[in-house]
Chains A and B, each alone.
Chain A
Amino acid sequence: MQVTNKLTPFFENLNFERDDNTMVINFGPQHPSAHGQLRLVLELDGELVTKAYPDIGYLHRGIEKMAENMTYNEFLPTTDRLDYIASTSNNYAYALAVEKLIGLEVPRRAQVIRTMLLELNRIISHLFFLATHALDVGAMSVFLYAFREREFAMDLMEDYCGARLTHSAVRIGGVPLDLPKGWLENLTIYLDKLPQNIKMYEDLLTENRIWKMRLEDVGTLSPEDAMSWGCSGVMLRGSGIPYDIRKEEPYELYGELDFDIPISQSCDSLGRYKLYMEEMRQSKRILEQLIEMYPQTEQKLMAHAPQYISAPKEEIMTQNYALMQHFVLVTQGMRPPKGEVYVPTESPKGELGFYIKSEGEPYAYRLKCRAPSFYHTGLLQEILVGTYIADVVTIIGSTNIVFGEVDR
């Protein structure tokens, strides 16, 4: 460091260590377009990015550690705060892992409701992606339109579970509530309007010159890189690899449902944006099939496993044994058998899986969350290199990362 005084003003004894155009800049952790608390250290040569280091941990809350000190049912609302844009997908992935550990059979009506909530969450999440991605690129009006549509979908979630963002609507062993009256009719109205709205977004964006210039051949990711960096979800399918866990390892009702997995061969941000739009249409298709399935199911919402799951409220209030079981489950928590389990699910962002190691105690010995965004954040050090500084925000938006699940 130079020492400046009156005799030697600072500009006279300046000596630059480097006389080229390189520069190191710090992007985040409070940058409005960083999708949360991402800190990127970018090494630039002029406007070209030569190196990018994603620095994470600014939203680390110790969620995995919390799981070790909470009973299985207590931990469920915490999973809401992982990927907070589509909370039901986290609730579901966690509940599914515990169910597999115990070996529970979920009633069919609960399965239908769960799949409905999952797909509705997928639409909510994709609309949010579209809104923020468009806002990052500079299309403010798309943000307003997409949020308008998202609010209607969130109204439906609110009608069902009472919460807008943190649902906790899926429980271990089923769902707590049946669909309220008129919910399916409202869902049908929403789904009828959805295609024309998606078409409107596409009319606004897909052929828009600015949108194409900002997205085409930006953030290119070759299929080999996508696989070696552990990408999943749209990032993987955007590079032409047809891999969707709903098709590969069908869980819930996805084996019975008829839907397509859209794939893009273009390997760039524009292709991924198109996939998101197409996936919303597929979600609509799935939801329409589920609406027809719903009336054919019996009115049973929670699995029958007195050792693990409390009986319905009516039985607790009328039968002594059910009350005793409920008391033990509430005060001590369920004790799954010893063992470990990993269950992958297809969340709106990619492969979301929970690994649980149980020692037969009411608390998990270890819980690990395999979050898709974590891998996509690591990928940034690969795909940001060689791009222009102006495209960095576009690429971050295109990876659709959420820091709740990156840092956990």
Chain B
Amino acid sequence: MAQHKVNYASNGGLPVALTSVDKLLNWGRSNSLWPLTYGLACCAIEMMASGGSRFDFDRLGTIFRASPRQSDLMILAGTLSKKHAEFARRLYDQMPEPKWVISMGSCANTGGMFNTYATVQGVDRIVPVDIYLPGCAPRPETLQYAVMMLQKKIRKESANMKKNKKQDLRLV
């Protein structure tokens, strides 16, 4: 027989731990980050590997979605060329709020080894980035860690996105 310590009659029939709306929303948001299936270059292969059987991204609640309308996380995996930059920004704009961006790999962070006429020297010139992920190419474990860092960040944020001072390129 289960021993109930809560007396429903005396506690007004509310044996529920109450929490703030912020925490509840952030709990939901952080545990169901749906990244956009958006591969640019080599890092995309490691991104696929983290979605594959060994690293099993689904454990973190991340399920790759092929449409920006359904996703709230953009993993910019690989070299962003100047020709492609326009589309990256457009995809970012198509994602509904709240949305986050992980810049995966050296090329996305700073241009990396490709300091040429054709590549964007860091995707933060195009979209605001939350997590920078070093490596060329980063291992799937690194990407998992980045997602966990992002989850931590989300849990600290206010659920009201307007309160979060997020770097927005339109204001710069």
| Chain A residues at the B interface, C-beta cutoff of 8 Å | 29-30, 32, 36-37, 57-63, 65-66, 77-78, 80-81, 84-85, 128, 131-132, 143-145, 147-148, 150-151, 164-166, 403-404, 407
Q: Which of B37, B46, B81, B117 contacts A32 (CB under 8 A)?
A: B37
Q: Which residues of chain B are within 8 angstroms of A60 by Cβ–Cβ distance?
A: 81, 83, 118
**Contact mask B111-142 → A, CB, 8 Å, 1/0?**
00110111100000000000000001101000
Question: Which 3 A-B pairs give the minimum distances between C-beta atoms?
Answer: A147-B52, A62-B116, A84-B42
Q: With contacts A61-B114, A164-B46 known, what are 11 further pairs, Cβ within 8 A?
A: A32-B66, A36-B39, A36-B41, A59-B40, A61-B79, A81-B41, A81-B113, A143-B52, A148-B53, A151-B53, A166-B42
**Contact mask B28-64 → A, CB, 8 Å, 1/0?**
0000000001111110111011001110000000000
- The verdict on B159 contacting chain A, using a C-beta distance below 8 Å, is no
A158 to B64, CA, bound (A): 27
A36 to B38, CA, bound (A): 9
21 contacts between A and B (CB under 8 A): A29-B84, A30-B88, A32-B37, A32-B39, A58-B81, A58-B83, A58-B84, A59-B41, A60-B118, A61-B119, A62-B118, A62-B119, A66-B116, A80-B42, A81-B41, A147-B53, A151-B53, A165-B42, A165-B46, A166-B136, A166-B137
Cβ-Cβ contact count across A and B, 8 Å cutoff: 97
A151 to B54, CA, bound (A): 7
Q: Which of B45, B87, B118, B139 contacts A128 (CB under 8 A)?
A: B45
Q: Which residues of chain A are within 8 angstroms of B79 by Cβ–Cβ distance?
A: 59, 61, 81
Residue of B nearest to A55 (CB): B83
With A81-B41, A148-B52 as known contacts, state yes or no: A59 contacts B139, CB within 8 Å.
Answer: no
| Chain B residues at the A interface, C-beta cutoff of 8 Å | 37-42, 44-46, 48-49, 52-54, 66, 78-79, 81, 83-84, 87-88, 91, 113-114, 116-119, 136-137, 139
Q: How far is the CB of B54 from chain A (nearest CB, A)?
A: 5
Name the residue in B81, B87, B139 with the highest tally of chain A Cβ atoms < 10 Å from its Cβ.
Answer: B81
A57 to B49, CA, bound (A): 25
With A81-B42, A404-B41 as known contacts, state yes or no: A59 contacts B52, CB within 8 Å.
Answer: no
Q: Which residues of chain A are within 8 angstroms of B41 by Cβ–Cβ distance?
A: 36, 59, 81, 84, 403-404
Q: Which residues of chain A are within 8 angstroms of B84 by Cβ–Cβ distance?
A: 29, 37, 58-59
A147 touches B49 (CB 8 A): yes
Q: How far is the CB of B116 from chain A (nearest CB, A)?
A: 4
Q: Which of A78, A403, A407 contacts B113 (CB under 8 A)?
A: A78
B53 touches A145 (CB 8 A): yes
A404 to B118, CA, bound (A): 14
Q: How far is the CB of B33 from chain A (nearest CB, A)?
A: 17
Q: Which residues of chain A are within 8 angstroms of B136 by Cβ–Cβ distance?
A: 166
